[in-house]
Amino acid sequence: MKKKKILFAATLLSAGIFACACNTNKTAVKKINYDYLVLVNKYSKLPDDWEKNIELVDVKNAWDEDIKVEKEAYENYKKLKQELKKEGVNIELDSVYRSVKEQQELWDEWSKDPEKGIEYVKKYVATPGYSEHHTGLAIDICLKKDGKLVYENDDMISDRKTFAKIHKKLSKYGFILRYLENKDDITGYAYEPWHLRYVGSKNVAKEIMNKNITLEEYLGSIKDINNNKEAAKYQIEKTLQKYFEDIYKDKIINSRFNVTKIYTHEEIKKNETIKSLKIGKKDVAFEVTYQLQPTDESDINELMIPNGEYDQELGWVININRLGILKYNEKKGIYSIKNFGTGW
């Protein structure tokens, strides 16, 4: 066991998980309260509990107006802006978060206006609940050139050179271009070079941008997670987080995971332990290292089961590599964790 412990620490170090091991600041830990890959479009409504969970920060847009944006998206936006500035490209925030209520007010106000009317509103204003701007993860940018703001749609669309530079940098900070050219049949919107969407992961963003696909297409491919490792990792981490929150309820403040291996179908066939678990075609066998942050030190013994240890300095229970199965329930269309910790 000792040997494995050392191996475990080395794995974590190489994975960069403990890059800030000396930093005990709890806010530095990422907790996913919401799904950064949430799909909101003309046909997919914002989840009902979204607005009460979303963490927004107050910022100013290009016109010095008070606006709000999701916290992590904004942190990454600042880095993107900084890097573009070095290349002589200046971007500013335009429209960002809009609550369902604000959208409803806009909808009501405009439909009462005799010059606009309901037909006009239907055409130009997204139905409340169906705008990606409700998520706080969508950012409309505008440009600043020679001290002047460039914000009109047509002016931005024709500035291909500047936007090519911007789009090249997006994935590095977890952003994608949401409304691609010639994909309006999928997204429901025409090309919008200014509408950026934060997806919470550089790897996911890279995959989407490199393949020149829409979020709709990417999420479609997630359903086939056996052929998509990044999607599988994302789904495993998300499902594990829920799994731990359910079994430990108020006993953990936080959890974090590092998926170290995803078994291919060939490997499963050769592995007697995993083979015996009767894995379905859409299930995924994986190995993960994980850590739990206890709410109260009196709970740590329970959290250490089966073979974790408590790192006093970090204040986290760190655990040995475990094997698990991500099961897909075809009828309900949901994932769950099965056989966690089996036969290692």
Question: Which residue is nearest to Zn ion, using beta carbons?
Answer: 195
**Closest to 135 (Cα-Cα) out of 180, 197, 83, 225:** 197
Tokens 């002016």: give the residue: 155
Interacting residue ranges for Zn ion, rule: CB under 5 A: 140, 195
Q: Report the distance separating Cα 310 and Cα 318, nearest Å.
A: 6
Residue number with CB closer to Zn ion (140 or 216): 140
Contacts of residue 17, defined as CB under 8 A and 6 or more positions apart, other chains included, come to 256, 258, 289, 291
Kindly report the number of other CB atoms within 10 A of residue 25's CB atom.
Answer: 7
CB of 124 to Zn ion, least distance (A): 13
Select 41 or 235, whichever has its Cβ closest to Zn ion.
Answer: 41
Q: Which is nearer to Zn ion, 92 or 140 (CB)?
A: 140
- What does the DSSP 8-state code read for residue 72? H
Distance between CA atoms of 41 and 61, rounded to whole angstroms? 24
Residues in the chain: 344
SS3 239: helix
Nearer to Zn ion, 140 or 159 (CB): 140
Residue closer to Zn ion (CB basis): 199 or 323 = 199
- To Zn ion, the closest distance from the beta carbon of 192 in angstroms equals 6
Strand partners, 150: 143
Q: CB 139 → Zn ion: shortest distance, Å? A: 8
CB atoms under 10 Å from CB of 38, counted, come to 19
Identify which of residues 134 and 195 has a Cβ nearer to Zn ion in the complex.
Answer: 195
- H and E: helices and strands count for the chain: 14, 13
User: What residues are labeled active site?
Assistant: 192
d(CA 307, CA 4): 11
Tell how far CA 66 is from the center of its chain: 25
Structure tokens at 59: 């910022």
Question: What interhelical angle do 229-248 and 202-211 show, nearest 10?
Answer: 150
Give the nearest distance from C-beta 194 to Zn ion in angstroms. 7
Q: How far is the CB of 64 from Zn ion (least distance, A)?
A: 20
* Residue 75 CB, nearest approach to Zn ion (Å): 20
DSSP 161-199: HHHHHHHHHGGGGTEEESS-TT-HHHHSS---TTEEEE-
Cβ proximity to Zn ion, 21 vs 125, nearer residue: 125
**Residue 262 contacts residue 234 (beta carbons within 8 Å):** no
**Least CB distance to Zn ion at residue 138 (A):** 5
Tokens 């409803």 belong to 104
